[in-house]
A and B are shown apart, each in its own frame.
Chain A
Amino acid sequence: MKLEIDNVSKTYRGGVEALRNFRLELGPGVLGLLGPNGAGKSTLMRILATVTRPSTGRVLWNGKDIQDDPDMLRNALGYLPQDFGIYPNLSAIEFLGYLAAVKGLGAACAQRRIGELLELVNLVDVARRPLGGFSGGMRQRVGIAQALLNDPKLLIVDEPTAGLDPEERVRFRNLLSELSGDRIVILSTHIVSDVEAVATNIALIDRGKLVLHDTPETLLAGVNGKVWEVVVPSGDLPSLRQRHIVSSTAHRSDGVHTRVVADTIPGPDAHPLEPSLEDAYLAALTAHRTREGP
């Protein structure tokens, strides 16, 4: 099972370049696709989900171009878009039943699958209520269930934890981890902690370009010994931000406890910290932007 993104570019009307010569090769596992807002993540997701066509380049699913035969991929695809709608008068069961029919599932199989999925996403008790009355988190769980209807080999989820409460978020992360065994899961998000929890590989995208593609371990190794805690008076924080990458701050009685990513020790009182993926993400993004310029 292999998904290849071969030199894909996407230019929208008006000349906005959302993706530029994007290359990536994926096998089974969870790919965490990270990037700032407007980096091109959702465009890439839509291209991989066959909703949008690339301006140039190809996407190959098991060696075959998905533009030549999109249904080949669609049969194996589960897709949860970032922004999706529901039919408000339908219940969760009816809505999933409709999408199961659209995806070509037989009646008996769909009925069983929907029951199981509603249990999986914890919506059994409200399964017969109109979706129009669902909260954002409940709708999101319906979205997750529909993505799993056809037991997809390629699961693409775009900002899936938006609107979920912390418990549901943890549950969904676990679900993604379980799913990753024999399929390709692409998790697009700007929430680094979601990726940290489940991703076996990470791709960092910025301004339409692939910045890096590596394992979380390698990414973390890159900032090993470069993360520090510095305590500064709050008035010194702006100048510290100008000199170094500041990944987090916390106000305490003795000053601002600042997490800094720097090649060399940022101050005499600084002490080293265990790096997090967020530190590595910020360091890689800053290094890329320094190389590329504004």
Chain B
Amino acid sequence: MKSLRVVYAIARADFQERVRRYSYLVTLLFAVYLGYAAGTGQISIHLGDYRGLYSSAWIGALVSLVATSFVSLVGFYIVKSAVERDRRTGVGEILAGTPLTRVSYLLGKFLSNCAVLGSMVLVLALAAVAMQLLAAEDRNFHTWALLSPFLLLALPAMAMTAATALLFETLRFLRGGFGNVLWFFLWGVGVAVPALMELPQLDPSGLWLVYASMAPAARAGIPGYVNSFSLTLADKYVPVAPGFHWNGIGWTTELVLLRLVWLAIAFALVLCGVFFFDRFDPARSRTWPCVEPLPEGVPIQAETGASAAPRPPLRALASLTPLASDVRHSGTSRLVVAELRLALKGYRWWYAVAGGLLVAQFAAPLDISRGPLLASAWIWPIFVWSALGTREARFNTEQLLFSCPRILRRQLPAAWFAGFIVAALTGLGAAVRLAFAGQFAGLVAWAAGAVFIPSLALALGVWSGASKFFEAMYTALWYVGPLKQVPGLDFTGSADGPQAFRFALMYLVIAASLATAAFLKRARQLRAA
């Protein structure tokens, strides 16, 4: 009983801390937007060229799938901060000195994660009710058909997201940016594998369970229907299939248990995290030791007592060389170099891969060089870019930096320029190849990409103060753009063909807007408090 109270206290405090933040409002607004997008047909389930009537069953399935697909993808990044926040604020160290068990702590955080994601599902459920009333395509309101998908599809999916986010936080190598990128691909695999293997049992999102339920009705009611099913962003009007009648998922005991299994798996993931959770022990959580052994021959310096041996005579203040007034204003180039060093510090094997990709860009055929190789070269430095604009908040150096002269005009542009240099150097091979091939439009597109990436990183970093938003958004954009070659979304320009120049200009405009947004936000931060 006492343990339950502790779990509740952890969950409650964490949830309160989150919902009182401005970002939680943004989170709910995102859920409202998703509800609006579903209600206005921007997100839709397609059965071939048709959709179903906006009945309770259809709307319940549609909006709950929006929750399990989009909210589970984005929600991961929203909730993956529960343990990190305690680590950063120092609360974790206080908790570590209490009898709190790892299980209680992680269960509390899991429940808080579930509550945050659950509140988004609740918003979507309310949106679903409003959607049926406003669309008025079917005035028969069936509460169970409308709400059961939220209970049995969305909530288990949210539990899986909540538990995975927590598990990632307990694993040191998944705690940071790598985990953020990995989630995107893991989520994609989670959606694709059940379809490829035709096993709805493997599908935490419930997408294929809905398909398995709708398909027989579609085959019966839609002439020429051949198993086409997608939850997609609709770019044109989709007509209602007149002969299609579907009353919702027929929830059998087996299906309900199938969904509840995901809750059990989520619970197991949390318990799994117990084995990896360091309980805020700095010796286990940092990559550097608290007290690093001194080199041989260096006398140990006492930090806590006055009984240390007398120290050697030190330099007196008077012996400091006075600063001449003319050395106080070095150019921004020195700061750019400093920012570049700071950005690349700590990456040991990073250079080898970046160098290999660069050499390959020079050696491979042009199409390969500016296509997959440039795409690879421009995903590899993602963690270098994601630190732009966030480093000051993350390491609490804001006060030191913000009290320095010309900080807005010098440091922020220098940080951006360091990011641009990383993009330019890692993608240099493709640029040189384009130049030698005389492909001016391609070169402009490459330059636009190199300008766009640090601008996006800086804007998201300065505005959010966290690197995960860039990591998530950039990974998604990189996946659909440079990797999947969707024209217009490929910021490297290789997929844009004759329209490369036009899209390059578009990305330059976007980059300028993003850089301006970063600049304005940082100016506001300097004025704030």
- Chain A positions near chain B (C-beta within 8 angstroms): 46, 49-53, 70-71, 74-75, 77, 79, 81, 83-90, 94, 97-99, 101-110, 112-113, 116-117, 119-120, 122, 125-126, 129-130, 132-133, 135-138, 143, 146, 148, 150-151, 165-167, 171, 175, 178-179
- B402: which A residues are within 8 A, CB to CB? 50-51
Could you tell me if A175 and B317 are in contact, using CB atoms closer than 8 angstroms? yes
One digit per residue, 1 when the CB lies within 8 angstroms of any chain A CB and 0 when it does not, for chain B 294-314 equals 110011011111101001001
- A148: which B residues are within 8 A, CB to CB? 320
Could you tell me if A89 and B317 are in contact, using CB atoms closer than 8 angstroms? no
Could you tell me if B315 and A116 are in contact, using CB atoms closer than 8 angstroms? yes
Other-chain residue from B308, B320, B323, B399 in contact with A167 (beta carbon distance below 8 A): B308
| Cβ of B85 to closest chain A Cβ, rounded Å | 16
Could you tell me if B399 and A46 are in contact, using CB atoms closer than 8 angstroms? yes
Q: Is B219 part of the contact surface with A, judged by Cβ < 8 Å?
A: no
| Cβ of A222 to closest chain B Cβ, rounded Å | 33
Could you tell me if A166 and B342 are in contact, using CB atoms closer than 8 angstroms? no
CA distance A104 to B302 in the complex (A): 35
- A106: which B residues are within 8 A, CB to CB? 327-328, 330, 334
Other-chain residue from A90, A109, A130, A146 in contact with B400 (beta carbon distance below 8 A): A146
Other-chain residue from A53, A99, A150 in contact with B323 (beta carbon distance below 8 A): A150
Chain B: CB-nearest residue to A148:
B320
- The verdict on A102 contacting B314 (CB below 8 Å), with A79-B400, A116-B319, A166-B306 known, is no
Could you tell me if B329 and A102 are in contact, using CB atoms closer than 8 angstroms? no
Could you tell me if B323 and A104 are in contact, using CB atoms closer than 8 angstroms? no
Q: Is B1 part of the contact surface with A, judged by Cβ < 8 Å?
A: no
- B91: which A residues are within 8 A, CB to CB? none
Q: Is B289 part of the contact surface with A, judged by Cβ < 8 Å?
A: yes
Could you tell me if B345 and A94 are in contact, using CB atoms closer than 8 angstroms? yes
- A107: which B residues are within 8 A, CB to CB? 330, 334
Q: Is B97 part of the contact surface with A, judged by Cβ < 8 Å?
A: no
| Cβ of B314 to closest chain A Cβ, rounded Å | 6
Chain B 324-352 residues near chain A, CB threshold 8 A: 324, 327-330, 334-335, 337-339, 341-342, 345-346
- B346: which A residues are within 8 A, CB to CB? 89
Chain B: CB-nearest residue to A75:
B405
- B318: which A residues are within 8 A, CB to CB? 178
Could you tell me if B328 and A75 are in contact, using CB atoms closer than 8 angstroms? yes
Could you tell me if A135 and B303 are in contact, using CB atoms closer than 8 angstroms? yes
- B299: which A residues are within 8 A, CB to CB? 125
CA distance A53 to B403 in the complex (A): 12
One digit per residue, 1 when the CB lies within 8 angstroms of any chain A CB and 0 when it does not, for chain B 263-274 equals 000000000000
Q: List 6 A-B contacts (CB under 8 A).
A: A90-B345, A94-B345, A122-B301, A132-B286, A133-B289, A136-B303
Interface size class on chain B is: 35 or more
Could you tell me if B406 and A98 are in contact, using CB atoms closer than 8 angstroms? no
- B391: which A residues are within 8 A, CB to CB? 87
Could you tell me if B400 and A87 are in contact, using CB atoms closer than 8 angstroms? no
- B404: which A residues are within 8 A, CB to CB? 74, 99, 102-104
Could you tell me if B411 and A104 are in contact, using CB atoms closer than 8 angstroms? no
Could you tell me if B403 and A86 are in contact, using CB atoms closer than 8 angstroms? no
| Cβ of B135 to closest chain A Cβ, rounded Å | 42
Other-chain residue from B287, B330, B396 in contact with A104 (beta carbon distance below 8 A): B330
Could you tell me if A98 and B321 are in contact, using CB atoms closer than 8 angstroms? no
- The verdict on A120 contacting B395 (CB below 8 Å), with A74-B405, A102-B411, A109-B323 known, is no
- B411: which A residues are within 8 A, CB to CB? 102
| Cβ of B467 to closest chain A Cβ, rounded Å | 14
CA distance A50 to B305 in the complex (A): 36
Could you tell me if B406 and A104 are in contact, using CB atoms closer than 8 angstroms? yes
Chain B 17-60 residues near chain A, CB threshold 8 A: none
